[in-house]
Structure 1
Amino acid sequence: MARRNLPPLNALRAFEAFGRHGRMTLAADELCVTHGAVSRQIRQLETHLGVALTEGPRSRLRMTEAGLRLAQALSPAFDQIEAAAPRPAPAGPRPLVISCLPTFAMKWLIPRLPRFQAAHPEIPVRVAESNGPFDFREDQIDLAIRIRRTGEPDYPDSIADPFMRHYHGPVMVPSLAGNLADFDSVCAAPRLLTRTYAQSWTDWVRDVGAQSLPPAISEQEFDHYFYMLEAAAAGLGVAVGPWAFVQRDLASGRLVAPLGFTPGQTWIVALTPREGASDRALLFRDWLREEGASTPLPPEAACESRAGR
């Protein structure tokens, strides 16, 4: 059998964590190492490959196009390894399992989880990233978080509790925003898409009341929402991003939204079993309602009603 010619695995792991989080400090926290250690591993990987995977100032480091391609391949590979690795029988109380959209988990849920854990230290929580179908019993899920379009039929065997309105708008790096100040110029710019929500642009155009979506210079599609947002942060083009996903990046200045955000026709909902929901799941659902109600509205949409939260 031919010998594998793989890059250093520790360096790949560090780069994959940086790709998911978009920040060295968050990758370092996940790996329990220093910011400098992650940076050295990524430099080692770039040297081994002979290709630049990151660019920009150290305070706002972003992935190059080659880096984005590699990151998109690494995450599913590591997911497969994690799923295949045998695990010992768990000790202690069974965790509360939350099935959640991957980017929503990364950008909104996980940064808020310490508040739930501080209030309920006796309830361990495990976030299972998924945006597909699920079965509460077979998948051993206590609660699921999904995006639901107004008027859609109920999820089977589930009770849906909307806890946050979906707002969306075009986002980009600050250096692009100076030349993209109106609807037509934003739509004509290089357009970024995600396979998991391919209609993001057409839905946004409908919600702002425009007649049609003008053609773009180019289009580029990514497998996951967070890769599309990282591509926007790398300056590859403009993406339509949900407010809940980009709020932190806007606050840090990585991204800007010159046209603001508009309410969509969807809600983020908490799904619990129609029968047999545990007290812990209902407690977490109530906590989601509180967190959703306390999440600031986009400044441009501050006059919108909070009805239904």
Structure 2
Amino acid sequence: MARRQLPSLNALRAFEAFGRHGRMTLVADELCVTHGAVSRQIRQLEEQLGVALTEGPRSRLRLTQAGLKLAQALSPAFDQIEAAVPRPIQAGAKPLVVSCLPTFAMKWLIPRLPRFQAAHPDIPVRVAESNGPFDFKADGIDLAIRMRSPDTVVTYDAIATPFMEHYHGPVMAPELATSPMTLERVFAMPRLLTRTFVESWSDWARNFELDHLPPAVSEQEFDHYFYMIEAAAAGLGVAIGPWAFVQRDLASGRLVAPLGFTSGRARIVAVTPPDGATEEALLFRDWLLSEGASTPSPP
């Protein structure tokens, strides 16, 4: 077997984490290293490959198109490695397993999770990132968080409890938002999509009572919301960004939303089994309802 020609795995791991988070400080927290160590790993990877993977000022670093392509390939590869690694049987309380959309987990759920742990220190929580179909028993899931629109086809028995309104709007890099920004100009820009919620553009366009969605000049589809958001920040086009996912990027100036946000048909829901939901899962569902109610609406 030929020897694999791979760059440093530590550098790949650091870069994959940056692709998900978009901020060096969050990567440093996840990997338990310094901000400088993360920067060195990514710089080392770029030197090994001879390709620029990031661009922009250090305070608003973003992925290049080559970086986006690599990051999209690395995440599922690391997911497979993690799933294949055997784990010892641990004693103690069984964790509450929450299946969650990856971007929602990173941008909304995990920053709030310490509040649940403080209120319920005896309930360990494990967040399993997933946006696909699931089976409560076969996958060992206690509760799932998904985005559901009225016409979403659900192929399994479950109880879906909406806990947060879904506000959305076009988001883009600041340099693309030249004034005046109009609806027609948004439709004339390259369109970014995610397989996680393919109906995002048509759902948003319904707010303007359009007979049909105007054809895109070009489209680029990504596996996850966080890659689509990074593509928008990199200036590759305009994306329909959920408010819950882009709050921090708007606050930091990486993204702008020149047309604001409107209420979408979809809702973010907590999904529990139709019978046999654990007491811990119901506590977590009620906590989600409380956190969703306290989340500020877009300005």
TM-score by length of 1: 0.93
Map 1:166-245 onto structure 2 (within 5 A): 166-179=166-179, 181-245=181-245
Aligned to 2:79: 79
Alpha-carbon offset, residue 195 of structure 1: 2.2
- 1:114-164 C-alpha deviation (Å, 9 max, x unpaired): 111121111110001112222212211111111122365777332221101
Identity, % of aligned positions:
77
Distance 2:211 2:156 in 1: 35
How many residue pairs get matched?
299
Partner Cα distance (1:60, 1:92) in 2? 42
Paired AA for residue 128 in structure 1: A
CA contact (8 A) 1:25 1:35 kept: yes
C-alpha RMSD of matched pairs (Å)? 1.5
Equivalent positions of 1:32-71 (< 5 A) are 32-71=32-71
Given the superposition, is the C-alpha separation of residues 23 and 256 from structure 1 closer, same or farther in structure 2, using an over 3 Å criterion? same
Moved more, 150-159 or 1-10: 150-159
Q: 1:179: how far off?
A: 4.3
Matches of 1:158 and 1:64, distance apart in 2: 40
Aligned-residue offset at 1:247: 1.5
Alignment of 1:1-309 (within 5 A): 1-150=1-150, 156-179=156-179, 181-299=181-299
* Amino acid of the structure 1 residue aligned with 2:147: I
**Equivalent residue letter for 1:20:** R
Runs ≥4 in structure 1, deviation > 6 angstroms? Answer: none
State the SS of the aligned residue for 2:196: helix
- C-alpha change, 1:61 and 1:266, in structure 2 (3 Å) is same
**Equivalent position SS for 1:193:** strand
Whether the 8 Å contact between 1:11 and 1:42 is mirrored in structure 2 is yes
Show CA shifts across 1:69-124 (max 9, x none): 00000001100110111111123211110011111111111111111112111111
- Per-residue CA deviations over 1:169-224 (Å, capped at 9, x if unaligned) read 10011111124610000110111111222222122112332333333332211121
d(CA) in 2 for partners of 1:66, 1:112: 33
Kindly tell me: are residues 273 and 36 of structure 1, through their superposed partners in 2, closer, same or farther at Cα, counting changes over 3 Å? same
After TM superposition, give the deviation of residue 26 of structure 1 in Å.
0.4
Instruction: Return the alpha-carbon distance in structure 2 between the equivalents of residues 39 and 53 of structure 1.
Output: 12
Q: What amino acid is aligned across from residue 40 of structure 2 in structure 1?
A: R
Structure 1 residues without counterparts, runs of 5 or longer: 300-309
Q: Write the letter of the residue equivalent to 1:259.
A: L
CA distance in 2, matches of 1:291, 1:232: 28
- Secondary structure of residue in 2 paired with 1:138: helix
SS in 1 for 2:30: helix
The residue identity in structure 2 corresponding to 1:112 is R
What is the alpha-carbon distance in structure 2 between the residues aligned to residue 195 and residue 276 of structure 1? 31
Q: Tell me, in whole angstroms, the C-alpha distance in 2 between the residues paired with 1:8 and 1:132.
A: 31
SS of 1:277's equivalent in the other structure is coil
Other structure's SS at 1:137 match = helix
| TM-score with structure 2 setting the length | 0.96
Query: What is the SS of the residue equivalent to 1:162?
Result: strand
Moved more, 27-36 or 198-207: 198-207
Deviates more, 1:106-115 or 1:177-186: 177-186
Q: Is the alpha carbon distance of 1:231 and 1:151 closer, same or farther for their aligned partners in structure 2, counting shifts above 3 Å?
A: closer
- For residues 151 and 214 of structure 1, what CA distance do their matches in structure 2 show? 21
